[in-house]
Amino acid sequence: GGTPGALGFNVGNLSGEVGTEVCLPVTVANFDSVIFYQYTMEWDASILELVRLDNCNSDIALNCVLGQTNFNVTSPGVLRTSWTDPSTLGKDIADDAVLFEMCFDLKAAGTSNISITESGLTIEAETQALGALDASTINITNGTATVTTGGDGGGGTPGALGFNVGNLSGEV
């Protein structure tokens, strides 16, 4: 869905097994002469733990360090992002290019939406050509994470230390 030709932010999908790290791309569409954007991303923190950001787009000098210029984790399962072109002339990024990747530790089996929301930070952008944009004029595609326990068939915590106690019999 969405508006043809409109600025778009697209969250990928991920799948993996508990105990692994998986990175999920956030890509763009029609990122043309963009001066500013901001939005919040949310996911189920009982299933996914954000451990780092990676592959931040160098065309707009996006800073991948959490808690610095462009990204702020406000609580588990909530990431706010914003970016402004210091020149205010607007920057372009090719369609389907990666804006950044979110790398998660997969903590528990289950399914989580990974959604762009307006929780505490409205979905906004500004371009040279179109001026101010909001959630009604920006195309958003949300993603899903599917985490499985893997095929080992055993219980317990993957990678945890285990002890097996055998039986002993004999005569004194």
pTM for this prediction: 0.84
Name beta bridge partners: 10. 27, 141
In degrees, to the nearest 5, what angle opens at C-alpha 118 toward C-alphas 87 and 144?
105
Whether the Cβ atoms of residue 90 and residue 33 lie closer than 8 Å to each other: yes
Cα separation, 102 vs 147, whole angstroms:
15
Cα separation, 110 vs 14, whole angstroms:
12
Q: Both tokens of residue 147?
A: 């985490």
Taking only the tens of pLDDT, the chain with its 172 residues reads 567 789 999 999 999 999 999 999 999 999 999 999 999 999 999 999 999 999 999 999 999 999 888 999 989 999 999 999 999 999 999 999 999 999 999 999 999 999 999 998 999 999 998 999 999 999 999 999 999 997 654 444 544 444 444 444 456 5
Taking Cα atoms as reference points, which of 20, 24, 54 lies closest to residue 41? Answer: 24
